[in-house]
Structure 1
Amino acid sequence: MQLKALRYFLMVASTGSFLATARHFQVPASSVSRFIAGLEKDLGHQLLYRSTRAVSLTEEGERFHVQAREAIELLDQAAEQLGGGETGIRGLVRINAPEAFGRLHIAEAVNALQDAYPGLTVELSLTDRFIDPVQEGADITIRIGAQVDSGLVGRIIGFHRQRLVASPAYLARHGTPQAPDDLLQHDCLVYKGQLGAQKWYFRRPGEASSSVVNVSGPLRSNNAEALLAAALKGRGVVLFPTWLIDPGSFQRGELCPLLEDWEASAMAEQPHIQLLSPQTRLRSRKIREVMAFLQAYIGSPPYWDRDA
């Protein structure tokens, strides 16, 4: 019985997919199928039902899966303790993050992480699509949004704060809004992603509910940095996360904050920045330490909000 076959079997059981397993281990799908067929032959039992639509565990596969998973986790923990006690964590960690946030903040955090742990290899994927970490083989996923019961385990880094801004040139031509409803008369630059064009929500500090303002304007984009460039050129008012805005743009007079007496958001519920991981991954000391490092690097509140 080969250790590699056991790892392939456990991943297929988790993902329900030979292709996802092959992608995770970076091997051909035919290799995954061959190793698992060999495992079933060694055990004398069929472990998986296979069809063109799905892969699922047989009754024997269910029983074997529980014990095999425990055995592999114990083996991995023993290897980590043996290899990482003095030299620190090592090996591969796959991290997924939203594109702009990952480029502006997580990439630098990864540089610091690898300075601290030279034996660590990081695979950083950036996408604005909400991935399934199990299907995609991600160890740690950074998500921005409302908390959901996703079956993932993790930590909240902090609130996802947003600010309403415009350039002085725009305000000189169109005036400064004094209340959220005034934005209906302004040119607004709106993010449009997979869920459609954003709505803007406002509430007074301490209020439980928000009111929505259906803004519109001359530019919609699925790229926040394109909207920021348009705002700097005086094209309109924009609602941006604080992690995207350079604090120096206020000091240099390039942007002006608006409606500071209101809390603004692109979601009805308070969004958070979260570090998430499949529960099985958190049994690994390596994953736990990387998550702790990222949380400490960003801080609480996040470093970009400390002087905001």
Structure 2
Amino acid sequence: MTEIAFTKGHGTGNDFVIVADPEGELDLSDDQVAILCDRRFGIGADGLLRVVRSDRLPEGAAALAEDEHAEWFMDYRNADGSKAEMCGNGVRVFAKYLLDAGLATLAPGSTLPIGTRAGVRDVTRSETGFQVDLGRWRAESGEPTVRARGIDVARPGLGIDLGNPHIVVALASEEELEALDLSARPIVEPAPERGANIEFVVPQEPLVKDGIGRVRMRVFERGVGETLSCGTGVAATALAVREWAGPTAPSHWRVEVPGGTLAVRMFPAEDGEHVALSGPATLVYTGTVALA
């Protein structure tokens, strides 16, 4: 048995086990990650964040080639142990950990670049905690349909790629959103090659207030199940609703999830339109755990 130190953190209820491994010496198997994230037999979390220097692992080489200042790499694993490209809430929690542990600094107005499997993501401070530039997004082609428990017929979805795949589904009412049973994985046809996070959304009334769009969302994350929040899913939801709302729709959104509220902002950049996510990041407690 090996004993490792960990920190538990969350962003609007999307929770993580954080393990510091600066030199990349800890090789966690899928089963070990799944045990650590198990809510009955482990610590319990939606995923695991391994804090490792970018130059200590193969995936980090691409991050350093993109930005030589991306010293730290977020090795994100889903609760089932599978590797994931990105996690919008996880990046904010990762940045919070780096700062509190003294591994990085982030002065007001400056940027902290963090390596991920989807590329480098820049983090800045915001009024609510941290803002992460999720980079350029892409609408997927095709017309997927989604079936889920609690809705009577399959619904059309819009595919959005934010480094990780999403399918956003519009529902007709708050009642439909509440009636969803996401204890079972929604069925997507045709099945996406990499899987996808599935977001179900309803507009608030009115949709736009004081120039800000407002929606509610629930999400089923691949490799996890239903979570209280999904950062990239929140961004994908805002992008999808803006697309459906038409050219007069705003570029600022507030998305309510079961774990709280997050802000989304779309803005132009040299390589195309980017989307940013703002919200809190909280570290809850630290401890040690025996790892088989």
Normalised-by-shorter TM-score class: under 0.3
- TM-score, scaled to structure 2: 0.22
- TM-score, scaled to structure 1: 0.22
Higher helix share: 1
